[in-house]
Amino acid sequence: MKFLSKTEKVIRRLTFYVCTGSMFILIPMMFLTTTDVIGRAFFARPVPGAVELSEYLLVVVILFGLAYTQQVKGHPRITLVVSRLPFRLQLFLEMLVNLLGLFIVFIVIWQGWILATGRMSTIVSDVLRIPQLPFRLLVSGGAFLLFLEILMDFLIVAAKLFSRAPDDEGAKKTVTQIR
């Protein structure tokens, strides 16, 4: 369990720093968009390629924010039915959901890598001629961080489910309350 704790700490810290770094991309994106709007509205001269750059910067922010959102449990959860089930059954269902998430995210990693390194890896953007390869690789990179976060959640829930410690089945605990 100590190894799990150290690994979890490293992964959570990595996810936090990557997300924090990607948030700083919002600042130039904000200035670029503001400059483009002012130039378009007042001078009839938009910034060339501003939409393209905004799209690429937004890709970075979104893909590197997914794992952190999983870390802080920010993804939507509907617990209307599950919260009424016994605690161990809640943990089991949480494990199944995490396994399904791992499977889906693995497919995203795999297909993102194939699309990034395939024959379309030399494609460039229309206006600024920016290569798309680094941004296509970000799909696999961001999904890999999300995979690690879901894997840690799976291992933590599995450790709680299979622990021999007595659980409070009479108490009104839910899986979301134990985190």
Query: For the chain, first and last CA: distance in Å?
Result: 16
Choose among 46, 58, 61, 52: nearest CA to 130. 52
Residue 21 DSSP SS3: helix
Q: What pTM did the predictor assign? A: 0.85
* Whole-number average pLDDT of the chain: 88
pLDDT digits (tens, 9 = 90+) for 58-100: 999 999 999 999 999 998 888 888 889 999 999 999 999 999 9
Domain ranges, ordered by start, for the chain: 2-178
Q: For residues 49, 55, 58 and 59, what is the CA-based torsion angle, rounded to 10 degrees?
A: -130
| pLDDT tens by residue, the chain, 179 residues | 677 788 999 999 999 999 999 999 999 999 999 999 999 999 999 999 999 999 999 999 999 999 999 999 998 888 888 889 999 999 999 999 999 999 999 999 999 999 888 877 788 888 889 998 999 899 999 999 999 999 999 999 999 998 876 555 444 555 555 55
Choose among 1, 5, 168: nearest CA to 90. 168
Buried b (16+ CB within 10 A) or exposed e, 109-128: beebbeebeeeeeeeeeeee
- Could you give the C-alpha distances from 108 to 7, 58, 104, 116, 175, in angstroms and in order? 23, 18, 6, 12, 27
